[in-house]
Amino acid sequence: MLKGIQEVTYFVPDVRQAFDWLHALTGAELVFESPDLVQARVGSSAVTLHPADEKAPPGPGGQVAYWRVDNLESAIQAFEERGGHRYRRPIAGVDGASVAQVQDPWGNVWGLIQERDS
């Protein structure tokens, strides 16, 4: 079911300011930008900068790795059948992918991402 990490998301107060910092630090390449999301490529990894909120503040524990899945609803169901639950409902991301977050029985957040062509 889990096919590998697709991206890591960091929750920040200002996505553009965070990208500028990331670019200065790593030479990150801008892949996608909107007022609500910035995606960058750092080496072979995708990094998404997302506005912080009450469920995902910046700071320690304020990042989520997103695992590629073929079917988002089936993956969520698999987590729920094993004691997990939905943390953030599935949404269509501004980049076209469908994303959701689930918590495992211990409270850890797992990001799930189904690319638009999957």
The predicted-structure confidence for 34-80, as pLDDT tens digits, reads as follows 989 999 999 889 999 999 998 888 887 778 899 999 999 999 999 99
Range of the domain at 31: 5-114
pTM for this one?
A: 0.75
Beta strands in 1-118 (DSSP E): 5-12, 29-34, 37-42, 45-51, 63-68, 85-92, 98-103, 109-114
User: How many Å apart are CA 93 and CA 72, to the nearest integer?
Assistant: 13
Residue type, 71: N
Mean pLDDT, residues 17-30 taken together = 94
Number of domains making up the chain? 1
Q: What is the CATH number of the domain that holds 110?
A: 3.10.180.10
